[in-house]
Amino acid sequence: MTAAVALLGLTCGLAVAAAVWLWVTPAPNPQPGAARGGNTWWGALAGRFDRLALRLALAVTAAVVVGGWTRWPVATVLAAAGGFAAVDYGRGQARARTQLARLEAIAGWTEMLRDTLSAAAGLQQAIRATAPLAPAPIRAEVRALALAIEGQQAPIRVALARLADDLDDPTGDLVVTALQLATRRQPGQLADLLGSLADTARAEVTMRQRIEAGRARIRTSVRIITIFTVAFTAGLLVLNPAYLDAYRTLPGQAVLLLITALDAAAYAWLARDSRLARPPRTPAATGTLAAGVAR
């Protein structure tokens, strides 16, 4: 089999794998505050194809470079897989930072509502007053809520439900549930309840920051080991290629595949465990919040 035929077969295989991936993976979430009922699906599809083109370009480039250098079929396929997955590198850490920023913003806005309500302002007035000053990570969502209330585009309970969907955070669900309950009955201690929710959110932010600090050390160690391993292998290929002749045989390729599969499983396990723990969005404890609001 010539190198051109092998490269063509690899490219076709990547195209088929990319098509399957494009079909089975869920569409990315629309941007926060996006208009409902618009053509957001078209933007999501376009973004997905952009990422797919980048993945394919990285996969083919890595396969050509590594395959042409080593002439190892297993290394070529693994390089293509690594290039295809390289787009997701660091995305978990970015997602964790985004979640922390949004959680801290929810806590800050909740404290704004508490202080405004303590000044004898109504709930709707408090929401409109705090919308321009809401923390940046959730400012668009809070402004959309204030506009919906001011323009009477929907009942306040419906607008708050949309806010919960836009925030997409368990703590945000608790805050929204407290506000919804306050619209149905006289909010006796709503300000105190919002203060407790804000304190809980800030405590959770502190806990997650400590967890991420510990995981950052592990990720740094993994990067150092990976860079050293790749550099050492590349050095052997350049300075002493005869040392790696055993891997050019069929048993050697099988051993290389097994070793790489074990390494990939270890990295996948580490990535799963190092992902920021986030509680699922479940229905809030309505009874407890109702008791707090009704007091």
Question: Is residue 109 packed enough to be buried (19+ CB in 10 Å), middle (13-18) or exposed (0-12)?
Answer: buried
For residue 199, how many C-alpha atoms fall within 13 Å in the half-sphere facing its CB? 6
Q: Tokens 């959110």 appear where? A: 201
Per residue of the chain (295 residues), what is the pLDDT tens digit?
Answer: 454 445 445 555 555 555 445 444 444 444 444 433 334 444 454 455 567 777 788 888 888 888 888 888 888 888 888 888 777 766 667 777 888 889 899 999 999 888 888 776 688 888 888 889 899 999 999 999 988 888 777 788 888 889 988 888 888 888 898 888 887 765 567 778 888 888 888 888 888 888 888 877 877 887 788 788 888 888 888 888 888 888 888 888 888 889 888 887 877 777 665 554 455 554 444 444 444 444 4
Query: Is the Cβ–Cβ distance between 149 and 130 less than 8 Å?
Result: no
One-letter amino acid of 112:
M
For residue 63, how many C-alpha atoms fall within 13 Å in the half-sphere facing its CB? 25
- Give the per-residue pLDDT at 90: 63
The Cα 72–Cα 61 span in angstroms is 15
- Give the per-residue pLDDT at 284: 42
CA distances from 29 to 41, 48, 66, 163, 169 (A): 9, 11, 35, 15, 14
Sorted by where each begins, the domain ranges of the chain are: 3-86+211-274, 97-205
Residues 6+ apart with CB under 8 A from 144: 33, 162, 163, 166
One-letter amino acid of 77:
V
- Give the per-residue pLDDT at 252: 86
The Cα 196–Cα 202 span in angstroms is 10
pTM: 0.63
DSSP 165-217: HHH--HHHHHHHHHHHHHHHS--SSHHHHHHHHHHHHHHHHHHHHHHHHHHHH
Query: Is the Cβ–Cβ distance between 84 and 56 less than 8 Å?
Result: yes
Q: Tokens 């394919």 appear where? A: 56
- Give the per-residue pLDDT at 279: 53
- Give the per-residue pLDDT at 143: 92
Q: Tokens 């990319």 appear where? A: 18
For residue 132, how many C-alpha atoms fall within 13 Å in the half-sphere facing its CB? 2
Query: Is the Cβ–Cβ distance between 222 and 270 less than 8 Å?
Result: yes
